[in-house]
Amino acid sequence: MSSRRELLLEEMGLTPLWRLRKGQADSGVSAAEAQEVPAAARRGTAAAPASPPIAIDADERSANIARMEWPELRASVAACTACGLRKTCTQTVFGVGDEQADWLLVGEAPGAEEDARGQPFVGQAGKLLDAMLEGIELKRGEDVYIANVLKCRPPGNRNPEAPEVAQCAPFLRRQVELIQPRLILAMGRFACQTLLDTDSSIATLRGRVHRYQGVPLIVTYHPAYLLRTLQDKAKAWEDLCFARSTMKGSH
């Protein structure tokens, strides 16, 4: 396979998997040792013909992720190269908190500090989020799980691109399935628009109960935005109170 084709497949998240020759899987022969077969053939040992690469399509990849439990899901995110973001970020940011939480908070993508520390919502935005949670008697790590739409930081904190979202979406869907939250709080325009598959503004989405995978979802502003736009902190507080009352009403 040409290097150009290999790069194209890698960018599409379709890095080929190679079939092992008959008997190789059970014999413990490494990939490097397998490459010596042609030399053996020249010494009179017949070599089996090379098998063509098997590409995993998007549906099969999503189905595989949908069967993963927490340990395998974490490892899969850490090793993912389905889009180009892993090449430019420091590390993946999987998510943190109670894996059986009633509340799931979803942001858009890691920033510089999240990328450096491997956790979502740290730094000043994280401190503001912790204060917001405390205001409705919640605490990070206790009955709350925090994740992002993307697990890798886009360069320069730019907005995620559609192909990047498509590759990362199965991970978030599986997190929701494993956590089974009673309510999702989507924070920031990009997270809200992505989860609800809409281009509507936060202003038009606020104050209503939406749904993502059957789970009630409420939208609000991202803490980083609130640090720049202080006048909207009151609106964010209204959203939190609405979320709390929605949660109480779901008992």
Does the CA dihedral 137-224-90-212 come out positive or negative?
positive
Q: Mean pLDDT by 10-residue block, N- to C-terminus, for the chain (251 residues)?
A: 47 42 39 38 44 66 97 98 95 97 97 96 95 95 95 94 95 98 97 96 97 97 96 97 92 54
At 6 the pLDDT is 53
At 44 the pLDDT is 45
d(CA 237, CA 205): 15
d(CA 115, CA 92): 7
At 249 the pLDDT is 84
d(CA 28, CA 101): 42
Phi, psi dihedral angles at 106 (to 5 degrees): -125, 125
- Is pTM beyond 0.75 here? yes
Q: Are 106 and 195 in contact (CB under 8 A)?
A: yes
d(CA 220, CA 207): 9
- Please tell me what DSSP assigns to residue 22: T
